[in-house]
Amino acid sequence: MKLLVLLFLTFIILRKLAKAIGTMVKTDYTSSSQDFSVAKDVTSYSESATTINHDLIVVENKEELLEGINTLSKNFDSFSLSKFISSAKKAILLLRKSLKQKDEKALTALVESSFIDTIKTMQDKIFEIEEGSVQNAKVEKIYSFNNKAFITLVLQYPLSKWTFSRHIKNLGKEWFISNVSV
Protein backbone atom coordinates (compact mmCIF):
# COMPACT_ATOMS: atom_id res chain seq x y z
CA MET A 1 0.00 0.00 0.00
CA LYS A 2 2.80 2.39 0.93
CA LEU A 3 4.49 1.61 -2.34
CA LEU A 4 1.35 2.53 -4.27
CA VAL A 5 1.05 5.86 -2.45
CA LEU A 6 4.73 6.63 -3.14
CA LEU A 7 4.31 5.75 -6.82
CA PHE A 8 1.21 7.96 -7.03
CA LEU A 9 3.00 10.91 -5.37
CA THR A 10 6.05 10.42 -7.60
CA PHE A 11 3.82 10.38 -10.65
CA ILE A 12 2.09 13.64 -9.61
CA ILE A 13 5.40 15.37 -8.82
CA LEU A 14 7.00 14.30 -12.11
CA ARG A 15 3.90 15.37 -14.04
CA LYS A 16 3.91 18.84 -12.43
CA LEU A 17 7.67 19.14 -12.98
CA ALA A 18 7.32 18.23 -16.66
CA LYS A 19 4.46 20.69 -17.03
CA ALA A 20 6.49 23.49 -15.39
CA ILE A 21 9.57 22.79 -17.52
CA GLY A 22 7.47 22.67 -20.68
CA THR A 23 5.89 26.02 -19.80
CA MET A 24 9.28 27.63 -19.13
CA VAL A 25 10.71 26.42 -22.41
CA LYS A 26 7.68 27.76 -24.28
CA THR A 27 7.97 31.13 -22.51
CA ASP A 28 11.71 31.39 -23.19
CA TYR A 29 11.23 30.57 -26.83
CA THR A 30 8.52 33.12 -27.51
CA SER A 31 9.25 36.18 -25.46
CA SER A 32 11.84 36.23 -22.72
CA SER A 33 14.94 35.17 -24.62
CA GLN A 34 17.41 38.04 -24.85
CA ASP A 35 18.12 37.25 -28.49
CA PHE A 36 14.52 38.06 -29.37
CA SER A 37 13.94 41.18 -27.28
CA VAL A 38 12.50 42.97 -30.31
CA ALA A 39 10.33 40.72 -32.42
CA LYS A 40 9.56 41.41 -36.06
CA ASP A 41 5.93 41.57 -37.08
CA VAL A 42 5.82 38.85 -39.71
CA THR A 43 2.09 39.23 -40.29
CA SER A 44 2.32 42.56 -42.09
CA TYR A 45 3.23 42.82 -45.74
CA SER A 46 5.06 45.77 -47.25
CA GLU A 47 5.91 46.22 -50.89
CA SER A 48 9.44 46.99 -51.94
CA ALA A 49 10.35 50.53 -52.87
CA THR A 50 9.70 51.25 -56.53
CA THR A 51 9.60 55.04 -56.50
CA ILE A 52 11.68 57.60 -54.72
CA ASN A 53 11.63 61.36 -54.30
CA HIS A 54 14.19 62.75 -56.78
CA ASP A 55 14.96 65.66 -54.42
CA LEU A 56 16.48 63.18 -51.97
CA ILE A 57 18.84 61.30 -54.28
CA VAL A 58 21.48 61.63 -56.96
CA VAL A 59 19.24 60.64 -59.88
CA GLU A 60 22.02 58.93 -61.86
CA ASN A 61 22.21 56.26 -59.13
CA LYS A 62 18.45 55.68 -58.85
CA GLU A 63 18.41 51.91 -59.54
CA GLU A 64 21.22 51.13 -57.09
CA LEU A 65 19.62 53.37 -54.48
CA LEU A 66 16.23 51.64 -54.81
CA GLU A 67 17.97 48.30 -54.33
CA GLY A 68 19.83 49.66 -51.29
CA ILE A 69 16.63 51.07 -49.77
CA ASN A 70 14.92 47.69 -50.18
CA THR A 71 17.85 45.98 -48.45
CA LEU A 72 17.79 48.48 -45.58
CA SER A 73 14.02 48.11 -45.22
CA LYS A 74 14.45 44.35 -44.81
CA ASN A 75 17.17 44.78 -42.18
CA PHE A 76 15.67 47.75 -40.31
CA ASP A 77 11.89 47.54 -39.93
CA SER A 78 11.22 51.25 -39.56
CA PHE A 79 13.78 52.63 -42.03
CA SER A 80 12.64 55.75 -43.88
CA LEU A 81 14.99 57.52 -46.29
CA SER A 82 13.44 60.94 -45.72
CA LYS A 83 13.75 60.57 -41.92
CA PHE A 84 17.33 59.39 -42.30
CA ILE A 85 18.26 62.38 -44.47
CA SER A 86 16.61 64.79 -42.04
CA SER A 87 18.53 63.27 -39.12
CA ALA A 88 21.79 63.19 -41.10
CA LYS A 89 21.48 66.91 -41.90
CA LYS A 90 20.97 67.66 -38.21
CA ALA A 91 23.96 65.46 -37.35
CA ILE A 92 26.24 67.34 -39.77
CA LEU A 93 25.20 70.71 -38.33
CA LEU A 94 25.59 69.35 -34.79
CA LEU A 95 29.05 68.04 -35.68
CA ARG A 96 30.12 71.51 -36.83
CA LYS A 97 28.80 72.97 -33.58
CA SER A 98 30.49 70.34 -31.40
CA LEU A 99 33.82 70.82 -33.21
CA LYS A 100 33.64 74.58 -32.62
CA GLN A 101 32.80 74.08 -28.95
CA LYS A 102 35.26 71.17 -28.59
CA ASP A 103 32.45 69.04 -27.12
CA GLU A 104 33.93 65.53 -26.89
CA LYS A 105 30.71 63.96 -25.61
CA ALA A 106 28.75 65.17 -28.64
CA LEU A 107 31.52 64.02 -30.98
CA THR A 108 31.46 60.48 -29.61
CA ALA A 109 27.67 60.39 -30.01
CA LEU A 110 27.89 61.44 -33.67
CA VAL A 111 31.13 59.97 -35.03
CA GLU A 112 32.46 56.41 -35.13
CA SER A 113 35.20 56.06 -32.53
CA SER A 114 37.82 55.08 -35.12
CA PHE A 115 37.13 58.28 -37.09
CA ILE A 116 37.12 60.92 -34.32
CA ASP A 117 40.81 61.86 -34.59
CA THR A 118 40.57 62.14 -38.37
CA ILE A 119 37.53 64.38 -38.23
CA LYS A 120 39.26 66.71 -35.77
CA THR A 121 42.05 67.25 -38.31
CA MET A 122 39.43 68.15 -40.94
CA GLN A 123 37.57 70.69 -38.86
CA ASP A 124 38.69 73.76 -40.87
CA LYS A 125 37.26 72.24 -44.05
CA ILE A 126 34.09 71.25 -42.21
CA PHE A 127 33.61 74.84 -41.00
CA GLU A 128 33.64 75.97 -44.66
CA ILE A 129 30.51 73.96 -45.43
CA GLU A 130 27.54 76.25 -45.81
CA GLU A 131 24.31 75.51 -43.96
CA GLY A 132 22.36 75.81 -47.22
CA SER A 133 24.53 73.09 -48.70
CA VAL A 134 23.62 70.80 -45.81
CA GLN A 135 19.91 71.46 -46.39
CA ASN A 136 20.29 70.38 -50.05
CA ALA A 137 22.09 67.11 -49.26
CA LYS A 138 21.28 64.13 -51.48
CA VAL A 139 21.90 60.40 -51.11
CA GLU A 140 24.57 59.17 -53.50
CA LYS A 141 25.14 55.59 -52.40
CA ILE A 142 23.63 52.90 -50.16
CA TYR A 143 25.43 49.62 -49.59
CA SER A 144 26.18 46.90 -47.03
CA PHE A 145 29.52 45.36 -46.12
CA ASN A 146 30.60 43.11 -43.20
CA ASN A 147 27.29 43.38 -41.31
CA LYS A 148 27.31 47.16 -41.64
CA ALA A 149 25.04 49.38 -43.69
CA PHE A 150 26.44 52.55 -45.25
CA ILE A 151 24.70 55.61 -46.69
CA THR A 152 26.68 58.36 -48.42
CA LEU A 153 25.29 61.90 -48.70
CA VAL A 154 26.63 64.52 -51.11
CA LEU A 155 26.77 68.23 -50.27
CA GLN A 156 27.41 70.74 -53.06
CA TYR A 157 29.05 73.89 -51.57
CA PRO A 158 31.88 72.97 -51.19
CA LEU A 159 31.57 69.49 -52.64
CA SER A 160 31.81 66.93 -49.85
CA LYS A 161 30.68 63.38 -49.19
CA TRP A 162 29.49 62.19 -45.80
CA THR A 163 29.18 58.47 -45.08
CA PHE A 164 27.02 57.23 -42.22
CA SER A 165 27.16 53.66 -40.96
CA ARG A 166 25.19 51.36 -38.69
CA HIS A 167 25.64 47.75 -37.60
CA ILE A 168 22.96 45.57 -39.15
CA LYS A 169 22.80 43.18 -36.18
CA ASN A 170 22.63 45.97 -33.59
CA LEU A 171 19.15 46.63 -32.21
CA GLY A 172 19.94 50.30 -31.57
CA LYS A 173 18.89 52.92 -34.10
CA GLU A 174 22.14 54.90 -34.10
CA TRP A 175 23.83 55.87 -37.34
CA PHE A 176 27.36 57.24 -36.99
CA ILE A 177 29.46 59.42 -39.26
CA SER A 178 32.13 57.02 -40.47
CA ASN A 179 33.81 58.99 -43.26
CA VAL A 180 33.95 62.50 -44.69
CA SER A 181 35.71 63.58 -47.86
CA VAL A 182 35.89 67.32 -48.35
99 and 171 inside one domain: yes
The strand pairing partners of 181, in sequence order, are 161
66 and 145 inside one domain: yes
CB–CB of 154/140 below 8 Å?
Answer: yes
Could you say which DSSP state residue 59 is in?
G
Could you say which DSSP state residue 48 is in?
P
12 and 101 inside one domain: no
Q: Alpha-carbon distance 112 to 178, whole Å?
A: 5
H-state helical runs in the chain: 2-27, 62-75, 81-101, 104-110, 116-121, 123-127, 131-135
Question: What's the one-letter identity of residue 108?
Answer: T
Domain that holds residue 150: 59-181
Q: Which residues contact 10 (CB under 8 A, 6 or more apart)?
A: none
Question: What's the one-letter identity of residue 102?
Answer: K
The CATH number linked to 99 is: 3.10.450.240
92 and 158 inside one domain: yes
- Residue 143 belongs to a domain: yes
17 and 66 inside one domain: no
97 and 146 inside one domain: yes
pTM of the model as a whole? 0.71
Q: What is each CA distance from 71 to 66, 78, 153, in whole angstroms?
A: 9, 12, 18
pLDDT of residue 83: 93
Q: Which residues contact 89 (CB under 8 A, 6 or more apart)?
A: 134, 135, 137
81 and 24 inside one domain: no
Q: How far is CA 179 from the centre of its chain?
A: 16
pLDDT of residue 50: 61
Q: Among 56, 120, 116, 53, which Cα is nearest to 87's? A: 56
23 and 63 inside one domain: no
69 and 27 inside one domain: no
**How many domains are contained in the chain?**
2
- Residue 45 belongs to a domain: no
pLDDT of residue 36: 47
pLDDT of residue 133: 86
68 and 103 inside one domain: yes
**Sheet architecture: strand order including 148-155:** 138-145, 148-155, 160-167, 176-181
Q: Alpha-carbon distance 9 to 14, whole Å?
A: 9
Low-confidence ranges of the chain (pLDDT < 50): 25-37, 40, 42-47
Q: What is the pLDDT of residues 91-118, one digit of tens each?
A: 999 999 999 999 999 999 999 999 999 9
30 and 79 inside one domain: no
pLDDT of residue 149: 94
pLDDT of residue 45: 43
